[in-house]
Structure 1
Amino acid sequence: MTYPGSGGQWQPQQPPQYPQQQYPQQPGWQQGPPPGQQPPPGYQPPAQFGANPPPPQDPGGFPQPGAPEPPKRKRTGLIIGVIVAVVVAAGGITAGIWALNSSNNVAAGAANPTEAATNLVNSVGNGDVAGMLTSLTPGEAELANDMMNDTVDELKRLEVLSDQADPSNVSGIELKSENLKFDESAEEKVNDRVTITKLVDGKLTVSADLSQIPLAEGFMQQVAPEGLPTGQQTQTIDIGQQVRSSGEPIRIATVQTDDEWHPSLFYTVADYALTEQGMSWPKDQIAPKGADSPEQAVEEVVKAAGSADVQRIIELLPPDEMAVLHDVGPLLLDAIGSGPAGPQLDVNALETSTEEVTGGTKVIVTSFDGTVNGQQIQARHAGDCIEINMPGQQGKMCGDDLAAEIQQDETLPPQVADTLSQVFGKLMSEGMGVVTTEVDGKHYLSPMRSMGESVLTLLRAFEPADIRELITAVN
């Protein structure tokens, strides 16, 4: 599909223009203007593409020709703290927990915030990881379920995990909790839907036996031919002692959904980020405003990013998975300030392709036509190549070019270079995309699912033999 605009469709016969990218020198790149065309006023050809330092880049990757460094915004740490904290929470789910036995699990709610937080900690204490994640807010529970099941399936295909590995049954890790106590009188009500509970006492015991991790036999023989250490290692955490030492209770955020309360990992890490900044939750929120289609959602995010319209970007985040950023949004806007920061990006045409993935729709940008600070830029994805046009330079980067560059890296063992060449060639062919989800008939861009899909796209580019080659080379 094409976003209509003054630029229309991508026109290869027009004078190609695109800002300088940070690509290595490759065969096929033309230095200077295209044949038969006069160079733009003031143009000075570089001795070699990439020989000079690239111009400053904005957060989206576009250069700022001649632009001064944008002024620093106030409370930048808050933005990083909240957004990165949410990302870390998602990473913790996908990397540290195997959970949920099927996509049919329904989040189990509680009657009040304290009961919801207690269910969370008790589930952890009983080693009931599936129960723990099903107790989360429905959006977080479904997100964790989808990401973990897909990741485990790929690790099985790559023969890293055994066929018996079960996301619903965590082996090798045991947790026990006892005598949990919450200070209900100290609960903090953020708004009508969110309450912060305070855990002040109890104990949590963690036991781990690495030999019980369900690794595939062949993978195990390569990484640990003598086997992993056997026997349990145990550590007990005295929550009361930790609270007395720090002077602060353990804060667990809970969210009300459909008259039931659920603990929330995302709200909890965001609450800690705000607490460390000495700030309170805002009273207002940024209401979600989705798009009419997956393609439109991506187009509008790109346009909003180009004009530094942070509010519109937040509006286009899923109201279930990313409700926390809608609630904390006013503080983010205040931290960023008003007015555009960096270059002005205008989109003339944006073509995309789509495919269905678990939990949403993957949107891949196949062609882009626009301007950065009035300077025209064009690019498109064709096969395993990215064709790029910019003032004074045109050419394309293909999988073979990237493979040749990797193989020239003398710091990499030959087997590793060959394997990575094949993998990145596949990635160039498939293309990376972002994932959108549908909520109540509207479409939103999901940052968590997009990151998870990027990891899965990378895993899909490998074959079991590739993993064995890499391990052999490293050993």
Structure 2
Amino acid sequence: MSSTEGNQPPEVPETGVPESAVPGIVEPRPRRRTGLVAGAIVGVLALVGGGVALAVAMQGSGAPGSSPQSAVSGLVEALNKNDTVGVLDRVHPAEAKAFRDLALTSAAEMKRLEVLRADADALRMSSGVKAEEVGFDAEPEERITDRISVVKLVKGRVSMTDDPAQTPYTEKFLKLIEGVPGASVTQTSTVDIADVVRRTGKPVRIATVKVGDAWYPSLYYSVADFVLQLTGRSWPKETIPAVGAATPEQAVRELVTAAVDGNTRRVIELLPPTEMAVAHDIGNALVVQLSGEVPSDTKLVELQTETKDIPGGKRISPRKIVLETGGTRISLARDGDCVNIDTSEGKRVACLDQMLAGVEEAAAEDGVQLSEAALRAFQGIGRNLLDIGVATVEENGKHYLSPTGTINELFLTFLRGLDAKSLAELTQLGGR
């Protein structure tokens, strides 16, 4: 279904904006080697294939901890046993669900693309994660609130190994990536916790969160704690409550309006209370941090959107957006495979076929003749990217913008622009 919001503005002279500064507009003459672009696409697929091994196991139904330290100890124990499923069962349930949703849908797409074998069981894939001799600080826990606690580590080594041969890729895909530098090479990265402590003078901090009666280590809260430590701020005493909108379209419009107005509190209110609990808990620190910012003079005048059902929520894609800045207006409007741009320097149209012509010309300059399958791949990706939108979810009868759902949908939009034949063509370009 579609939704239109805002009044139609009169056409007035507009301020000049460089084409490169207009979101979604692609320069007609790309100058980079087509092979590098194609190689990047294949590299992303290979990376995600390995990442699925970690993410899909995040089912959030495992054995949580009875205390913050025991939660981290359980995580470390599973790592020492190379028990990937056990490791990921112990992470924060909301984060586990977000990664699991992405991994399951990504795995389905990669089977369609003949990257993963048809019999690959996404929930049984494993990855080489290992922890050794992990030790806690003399005072291992720092209680932040009754439901947030930081556990401090001072020694140990954590390594991750990416081995394409251990991922259930198809023989076809393994042969394809042989020509892409580094794509089929086993790589291991190791972090020595004691070295980090020596360099920083502080323990490594892992934030844990109490959900119900159990404690879980949390990636999101650990990142938030790191940012607070880096900026010398403390966790706020009070949270910012979630205040959703009546409809998905209204949630997006209110969030865009709040963002251009510099209303940080309202932006946080419009984030899901379960998925983005960390944003609500750290929110007041962000509000204080940004309180001295000069408000932008940019205003949202009109926003027309299209709504589509996606797993777990809605995708809201912009069809027309009009912004006013400094008394003048900038208009971007989707029209099929084109975007109509109206600025003070006049009107112009940027179309997908112009981008494809530029890609083909750039390839020819490199001595590469693009096949129809390769052009179809670029066209499919470009057309899907024109449909990019943000994801919303409903919780307790209110609608919120979902950051993880949006990231998932962006990635899936990219994958849906490919088919197995065009992927093979791009892989061959990537090796040139």
When normalised by structure 2's length, the TM-score is 0.80
Q: CA deviation at 1:337?
A: 2.5
Is the contact between residue 242 and residue 273 of structure 2 (CA under 8 Å) also seen in structure 1?
yes
Report what 1:446 is aligned to.
Answer: 402
Larger Rg computed on CA atoms: 1
Q: CA deviation at 1:99?
A: 4.2
Question: How many Å separate the matches in 1 of 2:320 and 2:179?
Answer: 48
Aligned to 1:279, what secondary structure does the other structure show?
coil
Q: CA deviation at 1:283?
A: 2.1
Report what 2:171 is aligned to.
Answer: 217
Partner amino acid for 1:2? T
Question: Would the alpha carbon gap of residues 403 and 180 (structure 1) be closer, same or farther in structure 2, given more than 3 Å must change?
Answer: closer
Question: How many Å separate the matches in 1 of 2:132 and 2:355?
Answer: 55
Is the contact between residue 208 and residue 217 of structure 2 (CA under 8 Å) also seen in structure 1?
yes
* 1:15 to 2:17 alignment: no
Question: How many Å separate the matches in 2 of 1:327 and 1:297?
Answer: 20
CA RMSD of aligned residues (A): 3.6
Equivalent residues in 2 for 1:275-286 (5 A)? 275-286=229-240
Report what 2:147 is aligned to.
Answer: 193
The structure 2 residue matched to 1:301, chosen from 255, 258, 282, is 255
Partner amino acid for 1:442? K
Report what 1:115 is aligned to.
Answer: 70
Provide, for residues 216-255 of structure 1, a one-character-per-residue CA deviation record: whole Å limited to 9, x for no partner.
11111122279x9999988887656765676433311100
- Larger fraction in helix: 2
Aligned to 1:224, what secondary structure does the other structure show?
helix
Is the contact between residue 5 and residue 303 of structure 2 (CA under 8 Å) also seen in structure 1?
yes
Aligned to 1:281, what secondary structure does the other structure show?
coil
* 1:355 to 2:308 alignment: yes
Question: Would the alpha carbon gap of residues 361 and 126 (structure 1) be closer, same or farther in structure 2, given more than 3 Å must change?
Answer: farther
Aligned to 1:462, what secondary structure does the other structure show?
coil
Aligned to 1:2, what secondary structure does the other structure show?
strand
Question: How many Å separate the matches in 2 of 1:299 and 1:229?
Answer: 41
The structure 1 residue matched to 2:379, chosen from 408, 422, 446, is 422
Report what 1:397 is aligned to.
Answer: 350
Provide, for residues 410-432 of structure 1, a one-character-per-residue CA deviation record: whole Å limited to 9, x for no partner.
5563428735642344226x511
Question: Would the alpha carbon gap of residues 336 and 104 (structure 1) be closer, same or farther in structure 2, given more than 3 Å must change?
Answer: closer
Question: How many Å separate the matches in 2 of 1:295 and 1:249?
Answer: 44
Is the contact between residue 125 and residue 204 of structure 1 (CA under 8 Å) also seen in structure 2?
no
Q: Percent identity?
A: 33
Question: Would the alpha carbon gap of residues 104 and 278 (structure 1) be closer, same or farther in structure 2, given more than 3 Å must change?
Answer: closer
Question: How many Å separate the matches in 1 of 2:116 and 2:303?
Answer: 40
Equivalent residues in 2 for 1:53-92 (5 A)? none
The structure 2 residue matched to 1:375, chosen from 325, 328, 335, is 328
Larger deviation, residues 460-469 vs 202-211: 202-211
Report what 1:316 is aligned to.
Answer: 270
Q: CA deviation at 1:273?
A: 2.5
Report what 2:125 is aligned to.
Answer: 170
* 1:268 to 2:222 alignment: yes
Question: How many Å separate the matches in 2 of 1:15 and 1:121?
Answer: 62
Question: How many Å separate the matches in 2 of 1:299 and 1:231?
Answer: 46
Report what 2:91 is aligned to.
Answer: 136
The structure 2 residue matched to 1:248, chosen from 202, 225, 233, is 202
Question: Would the alpha carbon gap of residues 163 and 21 (structure 1) be closer, same or farther in structure 2, given more than 3 Å must change?
Answer: farther
* 1:98 to 2:53 alignment: yes
Q: CA deviation at 1:304?
A: 0.7
Gaps of 5+ in 2: 26-46
The structure 1 residue matched to 2:108, chosen from 129, 140, 153, is 153
Provide, for residues 326-374 of structure 1, a one-character-per-residue CA deviation record: whole Å limited to 9, x for no partner.
2222222222224544432132x32211112233211111123442233
Is the contact between residue 57 and residue 124 of structure 2 (CA under 8 Å) also seen in structure 1?
no
How many residues align structurally? 404
Gaps of 5+ in 1: 25-53, 63-91
Aligned to 2:4, what secondary structure does the other structure show?
coil
Larger deviation, residues 391-400 vs 229-238: 229-238
Aligned to 1:465, what secondary structure does the other structure show?
helix
Question: Would the alpha carbon gap of residues 144 and 208 (structure 1) be closer, same or farther in structure 2, given more than 3 Å must change?
Answer: closer
Partner amino acid for 1:15? E
Question: Would the alpha carbon gap of residues 248 and 105 (structure 1) be closer, same or farther in structure 2, given more than 3 Å must change?
Answer: closer
Is the contact between residue 114 and residue 184 of structure 1 (CA under 8 Å) also seen in structure 2?
no
Is the contact between residue 346 and residue 372 of structure 1 (CA under 8 Å) also seen in structure 2?
no
Is the contact between residue 316 and residue 389 of structure 2 (CA under 8 Å) also seen in structure 1?
yes
Provide, for residues 422-460 of structure 1, a one-character-per-residue CA deviation record: whole Å limited to 9, x for no partner.
2344226x5110011222222111222212211110111
Report what 1:469 is aligned to.
Answer: 425
When normalised by structure 1's length, the TM-score is 0.74
Question: Would the alpha carbon gap of residues 401 and 351 (structure 1) be closer, same or farther in structure 2, given more than 3 Å must change?
Answer: same
Question: How many Å separate the matches in 2 of 1:93 and 1:272?
Answer: 26
Question: Would the alpha carbon gap of residues 210 and 387 (structure 1) be closer, same or farther in structure 2, given more than 3 Å must change?
Answer: closer
Q: CA deviation at 1:311?
A: 1.5
Is the contact between residue 314 and residue 329 of structure 1 (CA under 8 Å) also seen in structure 2?
yes
Is the contact between residue 188 and residue 197 of structure 1 (CA under 8 Å) also seen in structure 2?
yes
Larger deviation, residues 412-421 vs 447-456: 412-421
Question: Would the alpha carbon gap of residues 208 and 96 (structure 1) be closer, same or farther in structure 2, given more than 3 Å must change?
Answer: closer
Is the contact between residue 205 and residue 237 of structure 1 (CA under 8 Å) also seen in structure 2?
yes
Provide, for residues 177-212 of structure 1, a one-character-per-residue CA deviation record: whole Å limited to 9, x for no partner.
455543473411112211001234556566665422
